[in-house]
Structures are given as structure tokens and as C-alpha cells.
Amino acid sequence: MEAVDPRNSVPPGQTTPFFGFVAAVAALAVLLSAGPLAALAGRLAELPAAFWTMAALAVVCDARPFVPPGRRQPSAVFPSTCFTFAILLGWGLGPAVAVQTVAVVVSGWRMGHAAWRSGFNAAQYACALAAASAVTGLGPGGLFADGRLRAGDVLAVGGATAIWFAVNYGLVSTAIRLRFGGRWWPGLRSGLGYELLSTGSLLLLAPVLASAARASAALIPLVLVPLFAVYRMARLAAEQEQLGALDPLTGLPNRKALLAEVAEQVHLHAERSARNEPDAHLALLLIDLDRFKNVNDALGHAVGDRLLIEVSARLAGAVGERDLLARLGGDEFAIVSTGLADVDAARATADRVTAALAEPVSLDGLPLDVGGSIGIAMYPEHGGDFATLMRHADVAMYDAKHRNDTVAVYAAESDHNSAERLGLLADLRRVLEAGPAGSAERDGPVGARGGDGAALPAALAPAAGGPAGAGRPSPSGPGRWRSRRHRQRAEPGHPDELINRIVTAADPIRRRAADADAEPDGTGVGEPEAEPAHGDAGEAGRITMYYQPQIAIATGEVVGVEALLRWRHPLRGMVDPEELIRVAEQSAVMRLLTRRVVDDVVEQLAKWSAAGITLRAALNVSVRDLHTGEIVDQIADRLARYGVRPQRLQLEITEGALMADPRRVLATISRLHAIGVAIALDDFGTGYSSLQHLRRLPLSEVKVDRSFVLGMADDADDAAIVRSMIDLAGALGLRVVAEGVEDERTWRLLHAAGCDVAQGWFYARPMPAGELTAWLARYRPLRPAAREAESRPPQAR
């Protein structure tokens, strides 16, 4: 059964206004052309052969008008326009309207137009011809008087051409607006260029045709040659445009066509939403085939192309009639699903696609199993334009892949590349590339040695004549953590150091300046950093290291610290460390961040050595760091440069990083172990590592994840898990560190379970290096046995 032309029907709810407009245009056409048509009957015998030639060509040419391929609502080009406008210029309104009406009836019959549609077309042309005739009457006299075309005649013809086009295009655009809805001006503007090129060219050819007719009727058929050339060029241009919107392999629309479709549908759905219609949602589904690369690598690209053709056929059968299926390139497809009520309707489409891809594709008797990951972005919830919807659908698709799921709807928390995060990443790159003040000193000559024999750069050595162990630059030197916004003119200090300190402490302005210039180098207690002023929004903030003590549970001795990264952003304040790592780990900025952390921690170890403090520092590294040997070379270089023993440094790796690429990770940590750097397995119990990995890896320590430690005092299952992990690590000869120890009861349970080391707020929070030095000075070891003795009754002691 042949499909019904949608232009022969009127959508429900639009019937009354549309047919009212059609009736008004028809009445106006009858009113304007009734007189000239009545007078035509007496003139037929007087009309020359040139008129009859033009009339015949107008009817014959309109029997096969040019319809551009691939247009959603094709606007045909009728060659009769050229002949009827020439007849208007040569013989008046009556003959032009009569010929145009016959041509419209013939073309309407050939194209299957409804009667009312052909009637409206005839009426619109009659109104346009009448308006053009009125303009030609404003000229100095009859056109081609005395066989000559005067300047005034040219102006009249130009005006008549413009008014014909304006009236005709305005009537058609208004009728389309009344029938299909939508905004009037965007619809009017969208087709204006095409109509100017096609119909405008025919109108401008009419004066030439009229001039040729005055010379000889035999010249009129010659116009068919340029008309045919225009026709062929227009068709070829339209076909090329259509091919430019198609994928050459599958024949599906490509990205360009998808962009145009989404842009058009967004406007339509915005209007539906404004009218509170239920089907005002649009879904963009992005499909990425799984295991397609394996087929290409194993069987070749020819088989891969055949597979894509078969998959495209299956997808085409799974989408609805109103949906558009497009191939974006490679093994990516997209579907635009329109007129949806909610996200469940989009999921239903995704389920049909999943079912279509579930069955293996048989090629040459070989079954190929290809599935797909589908990301869904909804309009208007997830974006209002093609670029936003496409990006969010891509985020959802990769979210589905990472979760080993088939379908995922866009969620903001899964978007690691939002504009806010990209801005945060740019700020992080700036602060890392700028480096800390005084960073150039790191590559300078090595000078004095610290208390444990560690070599220090000259800038870290005690100043001549200064107090031993000061370990800080002179006040006039650049402070390592000094920010540009804190640079102030230095005030002269009192020659007596004690008096100078008293004056500085008494003057709040000088005290703030001294705090800003002070370097948290482990020699004094620094105040917490003040929140930056809003005037500093142009800077990227400060990167600092905080340190949390690690305590041997049995003796209460401080055996090490964990280095924790902190970034104070000028606008956002202290950035959450997890978000910082999540942002950096997706890009090459992670390499800069790791380099900065390693440099800061090793330098701080050297400063503590100079002050007589011997601690082991543990720092975290990401999976990106472990995939190359660069971090090994960097650590070895920094340890040698600062004279820090490798045993003073420990790297913590997560189970997720270990399982991402066990072979490469094992090679890197084996090199680190060879130079003496200890390796700890962080977040133990939350990943997927097996006993085989624990046995093979050169580990010295495992860290029980805080998620188990926090609940072990109240949850018997958590307590049992922690005890099991402690026993397992002990059997393998590994030291056990418990994170998240926040109360005395948990501390005692860990001691009873045989845990070696603990860290958490029960002992101390993370703090800058300067505060840690002061904390160490006042810390007194806390031993479980001593605490138990204190808690016994006096007679039991």
C-alpha cells in the first residue's frame, strides 16, 4: 500500500485556522483575477503564437517538476513560474492566471495532491501575479513600448519580481505554520535561501523570455536549454548534498544529518514543552559496539565492514518510524528518538536495540558475537543543543562500559569532564607548572648534612652564625611556600632577635606578614592558612602537603607519617582531595602532580633529618604513575640529591591500580623495591587482589581500609573481617596499618587483634609540617598496657 503524503492531511486541532486561511486566500484570488479572466474570453483569438508556445511549455514542464531529494518537507520547483511571469509581462494578468491555473492542476494530478491543496496553490499564484501586475502598472507606460525597454521599465520589472516572490513565499510559509505549528520566523528563514536560488532564478529569466518572444516565437523553445541545465545542476547539487549527509558504507545518515535532525527536533520539542504537552521529551542514544576491534584485528577490515552493514540493518529494524538512526563513524551509532513522555520510553528503545544485538551475526558460517554499550541523554533534562546532548550521551555510554552494564542514563556525578572540572584541571595545571617559590633551589648544589647524615641543599643548611638546626632560609630569602599575593615590602627588623620576635608578635600586621613569609619547614608551628580573599580569584591557589602520624599500637611510638595532598583554591577554598585526584588522574596533569608530591615529601624528609627527626613518610601514587618507569627514576634522583635513605620513603598503591595492569605495575614496584623504597598495599579488602598477588608482590605493609575499621566497634562482621586481614597479613610477614582509628574502643580492639600500626583522629588529624613538629614535641606515647594499668582499681595494682 502506497504511503499517504502527509501534506494532504491537516493535523488535528489545526483544521479550523488552516482551512479558514485557505478560504480567505482563495476568495482574495477570485476577487483579484475575476475581471481579467472574464476579459480574456474576448482576447483569445488575438493572442499571438508566442503566447500559446509559452502556455504549452508551462503546462508540459510542470508535469514533471523538480522535487529535491531527501528533504523532510520537499518544496518542489515549478518551471511554469518562468513562463507565466513572462506572460504577465507581455499580455497581462488574465492570461497569466489562466495558464498558471492549468499548470497547477496538471502538476497536482501528477504529484497526487489533494483537491484543496491544488486549489490553494492556484490561489496563491493568482495573488502573487496580481500583486506583480499592480507593480508593473506603476511604470512610466506599457512595458516594451515602441519595442524598447526603458530604465523605468527595468525598475518596474524588478519591483514586480520582488513583490511576486514576497507574496507567494509569505502565503506558503503562513499556511505551513498554520498546518504544522512551530515558530513562524525560524520556519520562514530556514527555506528562504533555497527559494531565492530556485524560484528567484526562474523569475529573473522571465524578462529575457518576454524580450525573445517579441522578436520571434521560434526563440521561445530555446529557453528549454538553460532551464534543463538549471534543472540538472539543481538536481546534482541536491544529490551531492544528500550524499554528504549519508554514510557511504551503510547508507545511514551521518553525523551532519544527525546534527540537523537534533537541531530541528529540539525546536519542535521546545514548543511542545511550552504547550505542556506530555510528549515533549527527546532522547539521544549513543551506541558503541563491543568487541568490534577484535573482529577487525582477527578477520580484517573487509569482514568488519560486512559486520557493520549487518548491524546497521538490525538497528534500523529496532528503531521506530519517527526515530532517526545514524552512523557516526567506526563502530559508533546514534538514535534520535522523538515524542517521548519520559526516560522509560528511551530505555524501551535501548532495550529493543540490545535485543537486536543479542543474537550472533553469522558471516561465512562464522558466528560473531557483538554487543553494545548504550548511553542516553534526554532533552531538556540533560541539554538543550546537539553538542551538549552528544557529550552527555558519550559520558553515559562510557559509564555503562565501566559498570559492565548495557544501558546507562546520563548522571552528572559520572561526568568527569564537566566545565567546572575542566576549569579546576586548568587551575591545577597552572599551580603545578608555576611550582613553589624557591623550587629552583632543588637543583642547586648540595651543602651541609643533617642529623642523620642526609645531605641538604645550601638553601636548607643553617645560616652562618644562626642557631643550629634552624633549617630555614634567611628572612630575606624567598620562602618556599610564599605566594605572590603575599609579597609585601619588608620592614627592617630589630638587631636583637628576641626583641624582634616580641615586636612582631605584638603587631598583628607584621605578624600576618611574617606568617605569610614563613616556610612550613618543620622548625616551628604555623597557623592554619586564612581563606584567600576574593581579589585573588585570578590565581590558582596553593598546593601543600599535610602529614598524619602513624603510631605503633603496642609502644605508642610515632613510626611514620602519611603524606596527604591539600589544595587551597582561591575561590572554592580547600578542594576535596578525592576530587582533586579524580580530576588529575584523567589527564597528563597527574604526572606533574606526582612529581610535585615526590619533590615536596623528599625535601621535607631532608629538613626533618636536619632537625633530628627521623620518620618514615608514605605517599600515594596513581595507576598512571605505575605504568611507566619515570617515577622510579625521579624518586631515585631526589633521594640521592637530598641524601635521604630509601628506607625513609614508602609508596602506597591501591588494589585497583594493581589490577589495572598487573604486569606493568609489578615491573615498576619491583624496581622501587630494588632501590630500597618500601611498598604498601592501600585500601586492603576493597579491591580484587588475590592471595597469589599478595605472595608475588614485594610488599612490606598492608593498610586495612577505613570503611572496615570505622565500623568494627559496633559491627561484629567488620571486626571479624579486620581480624582476618590482620591474621592473613601476619602469616605473610607483612606489617598491618589500620586507617580511620577515631576512638579508644577501636584502638583497643586493634591491639587485641595484633595490628601493628594505626592512624586516625584518635591520635591526630593531618597537619602541615610545621604543626607536626610542634605536635611531636608535646606528644607522649600512649600504650595500651599503661592505659589498662591506669584504669585498674588501686588494690589490684
CA 733 remoteness from chain centre: 48
For residue 377, the cross-strand partners are 284
> Is position 739 annotated as part of the catalytic site?
yes
Distance from C-alpha of 565 to C-alpha of 726, rounded to nearest angstrom: 28
Q: Strands 558-569 and 757-758: what pairing? A: unpaired
Distance from C-alpha of 107 to C-alpha of 102, rounded to nearest angstrom: 9
Active-site choice (519, 701, 739, 771) = 739
Q: Which of 557, 531, 527, 534 is nearest to 542 (CA)?
A: 531
Distance from C-alpha of 725 to C-alpha of 702, rounded to nearest angstrom: 9
Distance from C-alpha of 282 to C-alpha of 280, rounded to nearest angstrom: 7
Distance from C-alpha of 797 to C-alpha of 794, rounded to nearest angstrom: 5
Residue appearing with cell numbers 504537552: 277
Q: Which of 640, 637, 675, 670 is nearest to 653 (CA)?
A: 670
Residue 128's φ and ψ, nearest 5 degrees, are -65, -40
DSSP run (H or E) holding 247: none
Q: Which of 545, 574, 550 is nearest to 561 (CA)?
A: 550
Instruction: Show the CA angle centred on residue 653, arms to residues 651 and 656, nearest 5°.
Output: 170
Distance from C-alpha of 379 to C-alpha of 381, rounded to nearest angstrom: 5
Report the half-sphere exposure of 703 (CA within 13 A, side-chain side): 25
Q: Which of 478, 494, 497 is nearest to 486 (CA)?
A: 478
For residue 336, the cross-strand partners are 284, 324
Amino acid identity for residue 681 in this structure: L
For residue 654, the cross-strand partners are 682
CA 240 remoteness from chain centre: 31
Say which DSSP state 24 is in: H
Count of beta carbons in the 10 Å neighbourhood of residue 237: 12
246's torsion region: left (phi>0), alpha (psi -120 to 50) or beta?
Answer: beta
Query: What sign does the CA torsion over 266, 272, 273, 274 have?
Result: positive
List residues with catalytic annotation: 739
